[in-house]
Amino acid sequence: MLKKILAISGKPGLYRLVSRGNRSLIVETLDEAHKRQPAFGTDRIISLADIAMYTDEEEVPLRQVLNNIKAKEQAKVVSSIDLKSATKDELFQFMGEVLPEFDRDRVHASDIKKLIQWYNILIENGITDFDEEESEQEA
């Protein structure tokens, strides 16, 4: 599922890949509006399946980090942190509980905020199976 969920640089929120056009992708917002729009090659588009978090040893796929948050929060939205007023220390403490070996030099507070926002968007839209790609590849 994460392969079809996209982040577009400079645009808030997450998008679902609907189809491919001639020179663009047709994406749909993951919110109540479900607004469809084109995303062009000039936009910086990345699939959530291609994102990883820095750790002290290696990079950990985003799906694993999302699963760790899901386990910590019992598959509910993150309510323990107010993203608007959270301090860097609070965000780092939360991340330390989710992924203890994350690289504190290369992972910024803004990255953790974005991660929590993305997780909340996915949960609110009923996307809770972050390991789907593995089962598809095995079949």
Matching residue, tokens 């910590």: 72
Fold adopted by 51-138? Arc Repressor Mutant, subunit A (1.10.10)
pLDDT score at 73: 94
**What six digits make up the tokens of 132?**
């789907």
**SS3 of residue 126 by DSSP:** coil
Q: Name, in order, each residue with C-beta under 8 angstroms of 93's C-beta and a sequence gap of 6 or more.
A: none
Q: Locate the domains of the chain by residue range.
A: 2-48, 51-138
pLDDT digits (tens, 9 = 90+) for 22-79: 889 999 999 888 999 999 989 999 999 999 999 999 999 999 999 999 999 999 999 8
pLDDT digits (tens, 9 = 90+) for 64-97: 999 999 999 999 999 889 999 999 999 999 999 9
Judged by phi (left if over 0) then psi (alpha if -120 to 50, else beta), residue 58 lies in: beta
Fold adopted by 2-48? SH3 type barrels. (2.30.30)
Phi–psi pair at 102, nearest 5 degrees: -65, 150
